Amino acid sequence: MASPSPSDAVRGDSTSESNQHEQPLQQFQPGARLTLERYFQDLQDADTPSSPLVPRYHTGRLPNGKIGDNKPRLLLMGQRRSGKSSISSVVFHKLPPSETLYLETTTRIKKESMHSFMDFQVWDFPGHVDYFDPAFDTENIFDEIGALIWVIDAQDEYLDAIARLNTTILNLQQHYPAINVEVFVHKVDGLSDDYRSDTFRDIIQRVQDELSDAGYENAPVSFYQTSIYDHSIFEAFSKVIQKLIPELPTLESLLNSLCSNCRIEKAYLFDVLSKIYIATDTSPTDSSSYEICSDYIDVVVDVSEIYGWDRNLIEKSSYGRGDEAIPGEAVAVEETGNQDAESLITMERKGNNYLYLREINKYLALICLMGDDSPSDKKALIDYNVGVFQAAMKEVFPR
Amino acid sequence: MNTGKRQQKQRKVLLMGKSGAGKSSMRSIVFSNYVAKDVRRLGATIDVEHSNIKFMGNLMLNLWDCGGQDGFVENYLTHQREHVFSNVAVLIFVFDIESREFGMDVVSYETIIAALEECSPNAKVFCLIHKMDLVQARLRLQLFEERAEHIRAASGHFQTKVDFFATSIWDQSLYKAWTQIIYFLIPNASTIEALLQELAEVIDARELILYERTTCLMVTHVTRGWEMENPFTDRFERISSILKTHKHSMAKHTGVPAGSANFAEMQIKTSQFMFFITRLTENTNLAASIPPSEQIFNAARVNILLARPRFAELDISAKPKTDTQQQEQMRRTASGTQVQGIESSG
């Protein structure tokens, strides 16, 4: 078992051993489960929260295959200067897109572990290496891979990229037929709308034609238009990651029943750190509702950062001084407030949606776009149903 | 104003500086709901562009965005001298940190300062050293201080009264500078503050922030108890910037014009604090940070609702009333909060 984590305290069924560890921790931060923490993923060696169940992932391998570090891998590949490192920095390290100009060329495989609702590794590959050179340990690279993300620069000559992509797919197909291949047609922000869709269609056509010429029909390849300057890269990643979650159908049906019971227009289950949504209800998605939710997370996290600072240290010291204690507040501190962060925005103009956010667990938040009905009527109903949803989530993801 | 007669108080604000320094960009972002990257669309300002902005507390900003090309400046200093430089409450002079001819900029500044001294000697001068984002982070402070000293030396009559800010449209420093400028201009800031303090005591708030709705600029704030120890000293600018960003996001994705994408209420409840923003008067919102307790939260909401009329009295957009009614209200407000009158200045 790994070291105790705050989530143990909530579950309440943790072993006595971990309870002993828990005690001093709680003394320092009563009720202070860090809500909506943002920088967690920068801790490279962060402890994985313990779980009674062995996590199962869809790894593209049979369960009795070689056991590696149990993390699905996302491989970022493509021609050099196609934007692989920029994508990984923007999505997983929150680098402002304008700063990616200064990233240096990647010369060796960069492995990064993400600790979030599910642990996965992102391997950023240098663009110029030929992986099927016998000198490379292909087994080591492609073993346990979750998805291969191939990045194509839409603003550049892409024929070479397509040729290499096809070689890679054909090679992989022989040994690892279960790997999802995801093609990001990247840097589309620089193209005009017409030209963009033409390019996109052209690339799809070429890849599929060449693959079927090689005798590989209906290849499992998906295509996305992406750009780091808007939300499209996050949406594309969301869809890639959703394919790796075996529980996805369960999550979707949970969200569906939540939506129908509370008349929610659209509900997303977000990973707060990466702003990737891991599930949504099955009603049609449009990117603007994703963007509203994603921006809304920013607001809540930013405000939480400002006012969620650790008061305990100061409270302790002022108790020490004795005379500084402020009446009224001392009583309030005993109350824990909301266990899970919750937020609501109502818009001024009639007929506009309003937004509801609720922290589901350490990593996930539920965000709902509501219809036109007044929130005050239904707030209690929504709260209750979200509580039920949260309990169900706990069963799906035990940690 | 000492008679107690209330009327819309126009304060003239001049926005000047060399052509291309970023005056109109700044104005568009703060007052016209532009986002930073939209300012590329702006062309050169021809002559003077006027805009009127209503604020809380009997204040109407009359902003003169003065085109900075030499021909226009020449004109302001000669033919329009009286017209431009009289009755100025605040001069905002924008310096471009990247400027190759800083010496020339200061000379131009000196002539404008001279004109200002002649026509409105009581004006206040703010110098914004702009486009700081273009300087390497470690050199910023040093460069800013050097420039500020140089400019101060050239400020003549206003030497002791000039305030300097380092700004950039790409971060919250812009809001920091403008918050200070607005605060200076509000004629009855102390009345508002006292009323806000009273409200904070009643609802047991850790912090109250009153801000203007369209610009998201803070009017004033009250901080109590431990919140004074909050390590984020730049939180007011940050909140302005967060809210503005959110407003743009809502406007963009719902198809509502940015000017009217206001939320009626926002709540954030966590285990460490509760925070909500609600409308206070016609053009102000109130953000409150309170201890994490549902009772306090609900009580605070009701109390703020009840306090609205008292703040509305201070607001310029309240319905016009007869003189006697207004005087009576003035007295009520003043006696209720133990603060006398409204200061006035030339």
pLDDT in tens, A299-333: 888 888 888 877 665 554 444 333 333 444 443 44
Q: Which of B110, B218, B224 is nearest to B174 (CA)?
A: B218
Q: Give the pLDDT confidence score for residue A138 in this predicted structure.
A: 67
Instruction: Quote ipTM for the complex.
Output: 0.77
Instruction: Domain B9-185: state its class.
Output: alpha beta
Among the residue ranges A10-24, A183-197, A275-289, the one predicted with the least confidence is A10-24
What are φ and ψ of residue A251, in 5° steps?
A: -60, -45
User: CA–CA separation, A69 vs B320, rounded Å?
Assistant: 73
| Chain segment A47-91, per-residue pLDDT in tens | 444 444 444 444 443 333 334 445 678 888 888 888 888 888 888
As annotated, the residues of chain B forming the CATH 3.30.450.190 domain(s) are 189-337
Q: Give the pLDDT confidence score for residue B342 in this predicted structure.
A: 36
Minimum-distance CB partner of A299 among B246, B261, B289:
B246
Question: How far B254 CA sits from the closest chain A CA (Å)?
Answer: 8
Token digits for B188? 């009855």
Q: Give the pLDDT confidence score for residue B6 in this predicted structure.
A: 46
Q: Which amino acid is at B211?
A: Y
Question: How far A213 CA sits from the closest chain B CA (Å)?
Answer: 43
With contacts defined as CB-CB under 8 Å, which chain A residues touch B247?
A: none
Partners of A369 in the beta sheet? A266, A355
Q: Give the pLDDT confidence score for residue A373 in this predicted structure.
A: 64
In chain A, % of residues over pLDDT 90:
10
Most confident range, picked from A132-136, A144-148, A341-345, B297-301: B297-301
- What letter does residue A51 receive in the DSSP assignment? -
Token digits for A378? 């239904």
User: CA–CA separation, A86 vs A101, rounded Å?
Assistant: 8
Q: Give the pLDDT confidence score for residue B10 in this predicted structure.
A: 81
User: CA–CA separation, A117 vs A121, rounded Å?
Assistant: 13
Nearest chain A alpha carbon to B253? A288
Q: Give the pLDDT confidence score for residue B315 in this predicted structure.
A: 65
Residue A183 has pLDDT above 90, yes or no: yes
- What letter does residue A127 receive in the DSSP assignment? T
Question: How far A314 CA sits from the closest chain B CA (Å)?
Answer: 7
User: CA–CA separation, A248 vs B156, rounded Å?
Assistant: 70
Q: Give the pLDDT confidence score for residue A134 in this predicted structure.
A: 63
Instruction: Domain B189-337: state its class.
Output: alpha beta
Q: Give the pLDDT confidence score for residue A5 in this predicted structure.
A: 42
With contacts defined as CB-CB under 8 Å, which chain B residues touch A348?
A: 260, 262-264, 279
Q: Give the pLDDT confidence score for residue A315 in this predicted structure.
A: 53
Q: Which of B95, B230, B104, B73 is nearest to A308 (CA)?
A: B230
Residue B206 half-sphere exposure, CB side, CA atoms within 13 Å?
A: 24
What residue ranges define each of the domains in chain A, with the CATH number in brackets?
A: 73-242 (3.40.50.300), 248-396 (3.30.450.190)
Q: Give the pLDDT confidence score for residue B135 in this predicted structure.
A: 85
- What letter does residue B7 receive in the DSSP assignment? -
Q: How confident is the model at residue A2 (pLDDT cuts 50, 70, 90)?
A: very low
Q: Give the pLDDT confidence score for residue B252 in this predicted structure.
A: 78
Q: Give the pLDDT confidence score for residue A224 in this predicted structure.
A: 93
Q: Give the pLDDT confidence score for residue A9 in this predicted structure.
A: 38
With contacts defined as CB-CB under 8 Å, which chain A residues touch B262?
A: 347-348
Residue A97 has pLDDT above 50, yes or no: yes
Q: How confident is the model at residue A264 (pLDDT cuts 50, 70, 90)?
A: confident
As annotated, the residues of chain B forming the CATH 3.40.50.300 domain(s) are 9-185
Q: Give the pLDDT confidence score for residue A132 in this predicted structure.
A: 65
Q: Give the pLDDT confidence score for residue B291 in this predicted structure.
A: 87
With contacts defined as CB-CB under 8 Å, which chain A residues touch B296?
A: 332
User: CA–CA separation, A222 vs A213, rounded Å?
Assistant: 18
User: CA–CA separation, A22 vs A337, rounded Å?
Assistant: 21
Q: Give the pLDDT confidence score for residue A342 in this predicted structure.
A: 81
Q: Which of B157, B158, B104 is nearest to B127 (CA)?
A: B158
Residue A391 half-sphere exposure, CB side, CA atoms within 13 Å?
A: 5
Interface mutation vs chain A, best among B216, B218, B271, most A CBs within 10 Å: B271
Q: Give the pLDDT confidence score for residue B343 in this predicted structure.
A: 38
CB contact under 8 A, B272 and A298: no
Q: Which amino acid is at B226?
A: W
| Chain segment A213-230, per-residue pLDDT in tens | 888 777 788 999 999 988
User: CA–CA separation, B308 vs B336, rounded Å?
Assistant: 15
User: Average pLDDT, whole number, for chain A?
Assistant: 73
Residue B317 to residues A138, A217, A244, B9, B59: CA-CA distances in angstroms? 72, 70, 56, 12, 10
- Average confidence (pLDDT) over A117-139: 72
Where chain B has pLDDT below 70, the residues are 1-8, 56-58, 258-259, 315-346
Partners of A365 in the beta sheet? A270, A359
Most confident range, picked from A116-120, A201-205, A357-361, B282-286: A201-205
Please, what is the Cα angle at B290 between B287 and B296, to 5 degrees? 115
Q: Give the pLDDT confidence score for residue A55 in this predicted structure.
A: 45
Nearest chain A alpha carbon to B231? A309
Residue A280 has pLDDT above 70, yes or no: yes
